Structure 1
Amino acid sequence: MGITNSNKVINQDRIDCDGSLRVTLAITAAPDIISNPTDIVLVLDRSGSMAGAPLSAMKIGAKTFIDIIDEATDSSKDGQIGSGSRMGVVSFSSTAVADTQLITSVDALKNAVDGLSAGGSTNHADAFTKAMELFEPASSNAKVIVLFTDGNTTAGAPPAPVAAAARAQGITIYCIGLIGSDGLDIDALNNWATDPDTSHVAVTPDLADLEELFAELAANISKAGATNIQIKEMVTPDFVITSILPPAKGMAEQLDDHTLRWKIQELGVTLSESAVLEFFVRHVGQEPGIKLVNESITYSDNEGNVVTFPEPKVEVDCDVVVHPEECPVPIQFTVEGCEDSLLVDLGDTYLESQGRIIQVDATVKQVCPHTRVALAVILTEVDTDGMEYQRGMKAVTLPAHDFPGCRDIQVKCIKFVVPEDLSVSGGSLCSPRNFKARLIAHSIDTDYRCCEAVISP
């Protein structure tokens, strides 16, 4: 099944010119067995040489195998082989017997394994024959035999032709061998198993290794979604990567200002699972517009999955940026390695004024009750030749009052800012500056109507 989903999203669709974004990469992988149902027959040796510890170790390994397939088929250890797959158990000594048919009940499969007892000879040919009989020819499911044995053939017909017939019918054969007291013909296992031998045959002399061998084989049959994943992300020159959050799966590293690499050893080996990487980028370009975040993104894994990611875009708004003040020229100095203190003469500096604030007050005379007033203050600056330069205008509304007669209204704290770089006085910093202020005021509310006009209240 491999990679089932890949995505890339950003947390905003609009940023300022120097704004930042959180970018989220996500992939999901699932074992192949979920989309490709498989019928599996466990063929287990219960000959006399298996008595005692070997039989106990085999049962543990076989039940671990069943659990892994259970989880791989539906992403849950729910006691049922899912997604259309099935499993059966055949055991053999002097003859072979089908302990179960192809079923989905994990408990029934484990009970069959637990019920095995050792005794008798080793008839591999009959074991293959009974296993082949469990498969339904009309079924479209993939067919797999997993044979476990600890010894050489001591009863029955030669097993090699039977195994060859099974392979000819499209049945994949895996062999797990335990080098027991009667020895083990490893060449025979290689002959029975599907090629290549390196991925279909596993042999050990150690009982402690059996569970791991069964587990590795189950993972191989379920076919990991993806292993040795490498994702390389490069953002466009308009962005730089500022930080990367450590992912829960795998390891991510920043290669340069624009590039990162994310490695994941395996994903979706026994169940469907997801991995997420979050990182932050900042816009460093100077032009506004709708922009792609990523320049390129590449993906690779050992399974050859082909993966593509979306290409999110963000609208960048670059307003006019003004820097009214240059940064002061720095004074450089060095503190030597063993110096506890340092006296530095930073030289002279001068008091700088960013401008002046003019606050004006005014009195509007004889404002009658229930009448709002519109007031404007126009400020100009006068140079040495008497020329005037606009420095601002403020317009305010004075609310109506309820006093019985007309009265004066004081207006306080109307403020103007006059930056020093606009001075036309011709003098130095903090020299006098000449201004003129003009007031315009009129009543907003009046009873007057022009001709037949109707004035809305």
Structure 2
Amino acid sequence: MGITNSNKEVNVSQITCGGTFQVTLGLSAAPDISENPVDIVLVLDRSGSMAGSPLENLKLGADTFIDIIDETTDSTQDGQIGSGSHIGIVSFSGSASADTQLITSVADLKAAVAALSAGGSTNHADAFSTAASLFDPSSSNEKVIVMFTDGKTTSGIPPAPVAETIRDSGIIIYCIGLIGDTGIDVDVLNDWATDPDASHVAVTPDDSELEDLFADLAANISKPGATNIVINETLNPDFTIVSIGMPSSGTAAAIDSQSLQWKIPSLGVSGNEGASLEFYVQHTGQTSGNLPVNQSIFYSDTEGNTVTFPDPSVQVDCGVSVDPESCPIPVDFTIEKCQDSLVVDLGDVYLESSGRIVQLNVKLKNVCPHKRVALGIILTETDNYGSEYQRGMKAITVPAHNQKNCQDVEVKCIKFVLPEDLNVSGCPCQSLCCERHLKVRIIAHYIDTDFRCCDSTVTF
């Protein structure tokens, strides 16, 4: 079969700036189908959410899958599944039906696929049970279920125990998920599929990719397992590898802080086999947003299998970042050999971050003892036409004094910052040499008073 599935997934969808997350690479492989016949049941979701382009693209994917198996089993696309292999079709919504048994006629298989129509709920348990019932327990053929679905279980019994029983009987389960209207739960698909999950589950949000997913799975069936596998992964520059776990097969090592290499001597040569690698990645860049995890990933093996890994991304939240001053542009120069002195003209250098600090003092007149004062200062700047622009407001609590009589209270050092990039004076250049015209308004009142509201009672 060659490589039957490839996957890459992350364990989170969102992190904060500098956060860490886990990446899992997965592969599965199996022997050549022409020498090791396989019975395959395609289990196809025809629930109501599949109406329209999802169902049409599913049919294209299933037909392509059937054509590839037809050709690879006997080296010709002659309308018959050869070499002792078979394909069966099961479809499901609120209940499942065996649209064909395990047969070899390509025309009959495609006719069953073409007849599918969307409608109803989603009963995964019945779909699994119906698919498993098609296999002949006495057959020595490898047994494979390819479950396709676009949504969560909405009818029938829980499917997980049914899938577990099927796996325990030796049947291999692959899951293909389309993120539909009700949303696909990847953890559920992982629970249903044969281990390792990463190499037996594939998910796409775009139904136009379904044909490619089915084609990739079927195309690799024509090849024997894979040998001398090399996977080179390079991360997006915003991420750094923190640690690399021990892979379930082969060896993995960091090439540098942003790339690794995973080598597997052989996989799936004598039987269906999966392999996975987990490593941890940290965000070390300054960029926020939905960032792809890897910059590139390349696969090679002796058999020439074609492998495409998904390209997961992570939403990175770095909060609000302001960088008011860019790094100065350097001036390059060289001191020649045997030269013990050098004069370099660096040109003009302008002051960075110019601005003013305004410090205000105010005297509050006749402030009564034992009363706090709320003081507000509003600063504006005017242009040459008299228009005002806000430059700041401060609210200050002035503590009460304990003198016997009313006193004047000075409030000192009320500071405002006026960057020159806010200058509206019309001066041709932003510098401290330009005049700026300001207005200040002051509001003050007592916080503490002797007045208390009370209800008045009038008696007649």
Structure 2 length-normalised TM: 0.43
The structure number with the bigger radius of gyration is: 1
